[in-house]
């Protein structure tokens, strides 16, 4: 059996007297497309911050390919192949779209060259080797020379994904990349996420408040509620879980259950 890419064991995050994440364990295997959902205040983003090094866990263990990283800074997680986006895109507003991607490439550093005259980095997919090839991958070629401040909100989110890809990750953590997008843009984003996973052999972990969209596109779902993990399974299993239905007061989950049953009929 392959080694887990990321393993979280009993991760707890407390802020003063508040327990935001309560002994959550989760394993992410290479190539998985996993969604994390939960009502507002469930601890989704805090858990993301913990497993990407942004927030230091109060207790628990975090291992990337077996290497313990709990308590290390975000740069150590990045160096070990984790890249993430944020709820509010973090781009360099005054720099061009291309230069934003180029910054990510510089941050990634250079890998050893296998062939001196070939001049490319060993083990890096061709499509992640230049800013322009990454822009082509995420569909922003036409905006390459435009300042990041001048592109649309959906393009801002694509640009942040491109900057994360420029660090040549093994694992991509996406924090509500569908927020503020139209229904069509959300669908396009979901298709891009699946394509990135397939073409780059990435592990993708995706937090989303738009539950319906996420459940349609991921293969496994982790559900958090009041800081605890209450479910971990396929979308079909999760939408029928009584504890999940209760956490969501039934509304969105009942809709999803009826869709699942309709598809099976």
* pLDDT above 50 for 116: no
| pLDDT tens readout for residues 33-87 | 999 999 888 999 999 999 999 999 999 999 998 889 988 888 888 888 999 998 8
* Residue 170 CA from chain centroid, whole number: 11
Name which of 32, 30, 36, 33 is nearest 11 in CA terms: 36
- pLDDT, tens digit, 9 for 90 and up, residues 154-205: 999 999 999 999 988 999 999 999 888 888 898 899 999 999 999 998 999 9
Model confidence, pTM: 0.86
Task: In whole angstroms, give the CA distance from residue 232 to residue 35.
Answer: 10
- Give me the half-sphere count of Cα atoms (radius 13 Å) on the Cβ side of residue 120: 10
Q: Which residues pair with 204 in a beta bridge?
A: 33, 172
Strand partners, 260: none
Reported confidence tier of residue 132, pLDDT bands at 50, 70, 90 = very high
Residue 247 pLDDT class (50, 70, 90 cuts) = confident
DSSP helix/strand/coil, 2 = coil
Please tell me the distance from the alpha carbon of residue 215 to that of residue 203, in angstroms, as a whole number: 17
Output the six-digit token pair for 132.
Answer: 């322009």
How many C-beta neighbours within 10 Å does residue 83 have? 24
Q: Which domains does the chain have, with CATH numbers?
A: 1-81+170-265 (3.40.50.300), 91-168 (no CATH)
Distance (Å, whole) CA 263 – CA 166: 39
When the pLDDT of each residue in the chain is averaged and rounded to a whole number, the result is 87
- Which pLDDT does position 113 carry in this prediction? 43
């Amino acid at each position: 059996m392959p080694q887990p890419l990321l393993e979280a064991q009993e991760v707890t995050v407390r802020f003063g007297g508040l327990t935001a994440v309560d002994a959550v364990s989760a394993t992410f295997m290479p190539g998985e497309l996993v969604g994390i959902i939960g009502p507002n205040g469930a601890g989704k983003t805090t858990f993301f911050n913990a497993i990407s090094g942004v927030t230091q866990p109060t207790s628990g263990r975090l291992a990337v390919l077996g290497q313990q990283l709990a308590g290390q800074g975000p740069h150590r997680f990045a160096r070990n192949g984790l890249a993430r986006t944020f709820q509010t895109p973090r781009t360099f507003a005054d720099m061009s779209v291309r230069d934003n991607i180029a910054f990510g490439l510089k941050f990634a550093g250079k890998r050893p060259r296998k062939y001196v005259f070939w001049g490319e980095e060993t083990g890096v997919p061709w499509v992640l080797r230049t800013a322009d090839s990454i822009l082509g991958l995420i569909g922003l070629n036409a905006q390459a020379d435009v300042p990041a401040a001048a592109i649309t909100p959906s393009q801002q989110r694509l640009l942040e994904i491109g900057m994360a890809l420029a660090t040549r990750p093994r694992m991509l953590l996406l924090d509500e990349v569908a927020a503020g997008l139209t229904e069509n843009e959300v669908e396009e984003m979901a298709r891009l996420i699946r394509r990135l996973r397939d073409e780059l052999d990435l592990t993708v972990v995706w937090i989303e408040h738009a539950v319906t969209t996420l459940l349609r596109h991921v293969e496994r779902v982790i559900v958090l509620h009041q800081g605890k993990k209450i479910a971990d399974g396929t979308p079909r299993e999760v939408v029928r879980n009584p504890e999940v239905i209760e956490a969501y007061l039934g509304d969105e989950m009942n809709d999803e259950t009826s869709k699942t049953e309709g598809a099976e009929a």
